[in-house]
Amino acid sequence: MASGFESGYVAEYDDVFVAIEPELSRRETGLVMDILDMFTQLELSYSRLSEPERESLGGWAEHAVRFDGFDLNHRLESRLLMFARHLIERGKWQQLTAYFDDQHERGNSHHPTIDAYERMLEEFNPIWRDKIRAATGGPSSFELTADEIRRVTDAKIHPDNRK
């Protein structure tokens, strides 16, 4: 006996597709990958700064370069989190795996993050494009300077809350 789906009974399609989420767009999936790339580079670059350079950024920078996750209670961010988890489970962005463990609530930030991440990307992307154009070889040519890290992490703060 054919299912309602196989028979083309549109009224029964919801029963077949009940567990299927609406698709994420290319823009949304690309955004997640860009965010994961950005935090990978921020964290790596910060870890390679000298102690005086790290101190010049202030104590907040150590937290600001770390991925906070996405808000599981936010409609879009929860979908972005599920995609990020999918990528991590598939072996991508292994440097960020720890942010998806139980101690970090599997990437749940418990607060909206997407606006801050988009502001950070607005600063990061031009810096990153310049790094790619100017690359002279070797991984160190892609490391961010303390000033570049500051520009990106400062963007995390909402403009209304900046001094």
- Rounded to an integer, what distance in angstroms lies between the CA atom of residue 69 and that of residue 16? 32
- Rounded to an integer, what distance in angstroms lies between the CA atom of residue 11 and that of residue 143? 55
- Residue extents of the structural domains in the chain: 23-161
The answer to whether the Cα torsion of 108, 33, 30, 68 is positive or negative is: positive
Residue-level pLDDT at 1? 62
Residue-level pLDDT at 139? 60
What does pTM read for this prediction? 0.85
Asked if residues 91 and 52 have their Cβ atoms less than 8 Å apart, the reply is: no
Longest dimension (CA), the chain: 73
- Rounded to an integer, what distance in angstroms lies between the CA atom of residue 31 and that of residue 34? 5
Q: What is the 3-state secondary structure (H, E, C) of 77-139?
A: HHHHHHHHHHHHHCCCCHHHHHHHCHHHHHHECCCCCHHHHHHHHHHHHHHHHHHHHHCCCCH
* SS3 of residue 30 by DSSP: helix
Residue-level pLDDT at 101? 93
**Residue 124 phi/psi, 5° resolution?**
-70, -45
The CATH class of 23-161 is: mainly alpha
Can you give the pLDDT of all 163 residues of the chain as single tens digits? 667 777 788 887 777 777 677 789 999 999 999 999 999 999 999 999 999 999 999 988 999 999 999 999 999 999 999 999 999 999 999 999 999 999 989 999 999 999 999 999 999 999 999 988 887 766 667 899 999 999 999 999 888 887 7
